[in-house]
Amino acid sequence: MKILVPVKRVVDYNIKVLVKSDGTGVETAGLKMSMNPFDEIAVEEAVRLREKGSATEVIAVSIGVQQAQDTLRTAMAMGADRSILVLSEESPEPLAVAKVLKAIVEKEKPDLVFLGKQAIDDDMNATGQMLAGLLGWGQGTFASKVEIVDGRAEVTREVDGGTETVSLSVPAIVTADLRLNEPRYASLPNIMKAKKKPLETIQATDLGVDMTRRLTTVSVAEPPTRKAGIKVGSVAELVEKLRNEAKVI
Partner 1 sequence: MSEREAMEFDVVIVGGGPAGLAAAIRLRQLNPEANVCLIEKGSEIGAHIVSGAVIEPRALEELFPDWLERGAPLKTPVTEEEMYFLTEKKGFRIPALDRVMPHLANHGNYVVSLGDVCRWLAEQAEALGVEIYPGFAGAEVLIEKNRVVGVATGDMGITRDGEKGPNYQPGMELRAKYTLFAEGCRGSLTKQVMEHYNLRKGVDPQTYGLGIKEVWEIPAENHRPGLVVHSFGWPLDDKTYGGAWLYHFGENLVSYGFVTGLDYENTWLSPFDEMQRTKLHPVFRKHFEGGRRLIYGARALSEGGLQSIPRLTFPGGALLGDSAGFLNTPKIKGTHTAMKSGMLAAEAVIDAMKADRVEPAAYTSLVRQSWLYDELKSARNVRPAFARWGSKLGALYAGFDAMVLRGKAPWTLHFKHADNETLKPASLCTPIAYPKPDNKITFDKLSSVFLSNTNHEEDQPVHLKVRNMGLWKTVNWDVFRSPESRYCPAAVYEAVDTDTEARLVINSQNCVHCKTCDIKDPTQNIDWCTPEGAGGPNYPAGM
| Interacting residue ranges for partner 1, rule: CB under 8 A | 12, 14-16, 18, 21, 29-32, 182, 184-185, 187-189, 191-192
Q: Kindly report whether the peptide bond that precedes residue 94 is cis, defined as omega within 30 degrees of 0.
A: no
Give the integer Cα–Cα distance in Å for 220 and 216: 11
List the single partner that 120 binds among ligand FAD, partner 1, none, CB under 5 to 8 Å by kind. ligand FAD
Give the integer Cα–Cα distance in Å for 45 and 175: 11
Residue 186 CB, nearest distance to partner 1 (Å)?
A: 8
Query: Which residue's CB is nearer to partner 1, number 188 or number 236?
Result: 188
**Which residues partner with 168 through β-bridges?**
153
- Tell which residue, 31, 21, 74, 96, has the closest CA to residue 188: 74
Query: Which residue's CB is nearer to partner 1, number 56 or number 187?
Result: 187
- Cα–Cα distances (Å) from 64 to 10, 88, 129, 229, in that order, read 10, 5, 20, 43
List the single partner that 245 binds among partner 1, ligand FAD, none, CB under 5 to 8 Å by kind. none
Can residue 211 be called a binding residue for ligand FAD (CB under 6 A)?
Answer: no
Q: Indicate the DSSP class of residue 14.
A: T
Give the integer Cα–Cα distance in Å for 218 and 92: 17
Can residue 245 be called a binding residue for ligand FAD (CB under 6 A)?
Answer: no
Binding residue (CB under 6 A) for ligand FAD from 28, 31, 37, 108: 37
Q: Which of residues 120-159 bind ligand FAD (CB under 6 A)?
A: 120, 123
Residue 123 CB, nearest distance to ligand FAD (Å)?
A: 5
Query: Which residue's CB is nearer to ligand FAD, number 134 or number 178?
Result: 178
Residue 33 CB, nearest distance to partner 1 (Å)?
A: 9
Task: Sort strands 2-6 and 57-64 into parallel, antiparallel or unpaired.
Answer: parallel
**Which residues partner with 5 through β-bridges?**
60
List the single partner that 185 binds among partner 1, ligand FAD, none, CB under 5 to 8 Å by kind. partner 1
Give the integer Cα–Cα distance in Å for 43 and 80: 7
Residues that bind ligand FAD (CB under 6 A): 13, 37, 120, 123, 178
